[in-house]
Amino acid sequence: MTAPNRATLWGRTLVDELAAGGLEAVCLAPGSRSTPLTVAFAEHPEIETYSHLDERSAAFFALGRARRTGEPTALVCTSGTAAANFHPAVIEASQARVPLLVLTADRPPELRDSGANQTVDQVKLYGDAVRWYVELPVPKPDERALRSLRTTAARALARTSGIPAGPVHLNCPFRKPLEPTRVPDAVPEGLEDTLAGRGRDGPFVRVSTGETTSTEDSRTPERIARALEDAARPLIVAGPADPPVRKLATSAVVDLATAVGAPIFADPLSTLRFGSHLETPDEDEPVVYGGYDTYVEAVPDPDAVIRFGASPTSKPLRHALRDADCRQFLVDPAGEWREATFTASDLVVSEPTSLFEAVSSELETETARARVDDAWLETLAAAEAHHWAVSTSGRADLESAPFEGAILATVFEAAPDPSTVFVSNSMPIRDANRFGEPRDADLTVLANRGASGIDGIVSTALGAGSATDDPLVLVTGDLALYHDSNGLLALKRCGVDATIVLLDNDGGGIFHKLPIESFDPPFTEQFRTPHGLEFDPLGELYGFDVRHVAPDKFEDAYRESFATSGTQLLSVSFDAEASHRRREVLEGRVLEAVRDLE
């Protein structure tokens, strides 16, 4: 059926090509100028639509979904400041390599800079934070224009999943009528049919994705293999994973580590800290380590390092790597530099999986194992054991000595298998890093570590939760919960259930970790910023249960939440300063034990 007018034709064609290219979901914020896009998305049978009222939350929701699935999610808004509300999530998507297709409706070019209502300069609105920016022409009903539109749509979608993945921005000007109102002779008969899929099932332009591997003549795998064979204390550092989180073949890392005799220091956001590769752990010689944040400064430095993924969450680990005077291979498929201490000696541009397989096949295993310093491995294994023993003991007296880390320990220990666990920035991710014990369970652990903001946390988590039937856990502080409280509307509107763990220390607890703590004023008023908010009314507003739980009762309430339908917010109150002091005490105990090993 011929489209009733040009805007409708344009919107339909664009959306049809995106759907044919595999786009599965879109977040829509209401608006007038975006009507042709909204109508086309809403009527498309194969694309799931999520309606959001706050564009900032919409964008983070789309980000969360794309982060969890690794597949592009589209995002639509009207013209004006609406588009600027997408900016924080676009930056996070850019830094964290999340495929996001941003479609902003716009007024036609002749209305720009003329005082026309809701008309702002949207050209390159997100600057260099997008992989590709395209200024679409105003809808034009001829074949070449539609071929161009379909080609752009296919390329844009593919580009979101390129190397590296990230956001793409299509700015889409429309003239009225925007609604599917019939305009006689606006669209030639049959124009659409000649183009759709070129008569075959599928997109007009099919883009086959590529992958970065080390070139055959570079001898890179060989050089890495030799370096590992020569090393006495070889270390593999798995940083936060890039979406799709499951792209990396865990086995390739574990096999290499086992062949070399190298421990893996696994970030909670890597795919190595949790998973079935931990099914039969060897406590005397574990392959995957998670407790290094407390003890890495007290054990001997590695003498060869392979790093992949983003920069590790653990600051002590980053500092230890900075101080280790050795060869360090930084593996990244996009060839970006992902460590800010500038200590790496070799940048290897390759997907880790294929590279590690190639290194393994080059490796003389016996030579490598023979060189490994067993005493070092024993120290590491003992330190790791001490760390978890102390962490566990620290949870024995929560009534008298509550601290936030104990909650994170429980969150990971008792999370359902499988589940998605989204962890907010600031203190929660640091405690997840320190207290999330490696576990044989299919936990997809996510955080917004691209730019590490505390904005959009709720929405990103709910977006991630919307993508699967896995139970969803969100761990957040009170500031992040406040910051994106609007995101809670998606619980009902988008049909997501979650277990929300709120670590409520009434303000910015993380500032107690910083030297500013000793300058008050302005510490309390401008940094710690106690707000006194009681979040119970949010439950009433957005329709979920709020339960106040004492730290020592948290585990029961947490487990119970998974047996309960709907969303529960488990609010656990803490004194941020006391939590910090408790962390220091436990860290001291681990360090003492580790120093005694020597």
Query: Which residue, chain included where needed, has tokens 């609604």?
Result: 179
Kindly indicate which of the ranges 355-363, 465-473, 517-525, 556-564 contains the residues binding its own copies, using the contact rule CB under 8 A: 517-525
Q: Is 340 or 563 the residue whose CB approaches its own copies more closely?
A: 340
Nearer to its own copies, 113 or 397 (CB): 113
124 is an interface residue for its own copies by CB under 8 A: yes
Q: Which of 45, 190, 199, 521 binds its own copies (CB under 8 A)?
A: 521
Choices 186-194, 412-420, 534-542, 567-575; region in contact with its own copies by CB under 8 A: 534-542
Return the residue of 525, 545, 560, 592 that touches its own copies, per CB under 8 A. Answer: 525
Q: Look up residue 155 and give its two tokens.
A: 């390329």
Site for its own copies in 224-253 (CB under 8 A): none
Residue 527 within binding range of its own copies, rule CB under 8 A = yes
Q: Assess contact for 290 and 266: CB atoms under 8 A.
A: yes
Nearest to 233 by CA among 352, 368, 356, 361: 368
What is the dihedral angle through the alpha carbons of 284, 288, 294, 298, rounded to the nearest 10 degrees?
60
DSSP for residue 242: P
- Beta carbon nearer to its own copies, 179 or 556: 179
Amino acid at 128: D
Rounded to whole angstroms, the Cα distance separating 331 from 352 reads 6
What is the rounded CA–CA span in Å between residue 446 and residue 467? 13
* Sign of the CA dihedral with 128 first, then 129, 132, and 133 last: negative
Q: Which of 16, 339, 384, 587 binds its own copies (CB under 8 A)?
A: 339
Binding pattern for the stretch 183-222 against its own copies, x by CB under 8 A and - elsewhere: ----------------------------------------
Q: Which is nearer to its own copies, 517 or 552 (CB)?
A: 517
Instruction: Candidates 48, 84, 365, 573: give the one binding its own copies (CB under 8 A).
Output: 84
Alpha-helical (H) ranges within 97-199 are 143-160
- Does 359 interact with its own copies (rule: CB under 8 A)? no
Candidate list 310, 408, 427, 570; residue touching its own copies; CB under 8 A = 310
* Residue listed under structure tokens 């992958």: 211
Report if residue 350 touches its own copies, rule: CB under 8 A.
no
Single out the residue of 522, 550, 585, 592 in contact with its own copies (rule: CB under 8 A).
Answer: 522
Closest approach of its own copies to the CB of residue 87, in Å: 4
Binding mask 29-58 for its own copies (x = CB under 8 A): -x-x--x--xx--xx-----x-x-xxxx--
Going 516 to 521 to 524 to 527, the CA torsion angle's sign is: negative
Among residues 467 and 479, whose Cβ is nearest to its own copies? 479
In the list 479, 501, 503, 593, the residue contacting its own copies (rule: CB under 8 A) is 479
Question: Is 82 a residue that touches its own copies (CB under 8 A)?
Answer: yes
> Is residue 111 close enough to count as binding its own copies by CB under 8 A?
yes
21 sits near its own copies (criterion: CB under 8 A): no
Site size for its own copies, by CB under 8 A?
90
Radius of gyration of the chain (CA): 26
CA–CA distance, 78 with 15 (Å, rounded to integer)? 16
User: Which residues fall within 8 angstroms of residue 243, CB to CB, at 6 or more apart?
Assistant: 66, 67, 68, 69, 70, 96, 97, 98, 99, 165
Contact partners, residue 26, CB within 8 Å, separation at least 6: 41, 47, 48, 49, 50, 62, 73, 74, 75, 76
Binding pattern for the stretch 536-555 against its own copies, x by CB under 8 A and - elsewhere: xxx-xx--------------
Sheet holding 304-308, edge to edge: 288-289, 264-266, 234-238, 304-308, 327-331, 346-348
End-to-end Cα, the chain, rounded Å: 79
Using DSSP, state whether 572 is helix, strand or coil.
strand
> Does 584 sit near its own copies (CB under 8 A)?
no
Q: Which of residues 419-458 bind its own copies (CB under 8 A)?
A: 449, 451-453, 455-456
Please pick, from the candidates 2, 22, 48, 87, the single residue that binds its own copies as defined by CB under 8 A.
Answer: 87
> 319-338: which residues touch its own copies (CB under 8 A)?
336-338
Q: How far is CA 455 from the centre of its chain?
A: 13
350, 213 in Cβ contact below 8 A? yes
- Name residue 364's amino acid: E
Please state the closest distance from residue 237 (CB atom) to its own copies, in A. Answer: 13
Instruction: Note whether 91 binds its own copies by CB under 8 A.
Output: yes
DSSP 137: P
Closest approach of its own copies to the CB of residue 33, in Å? 11
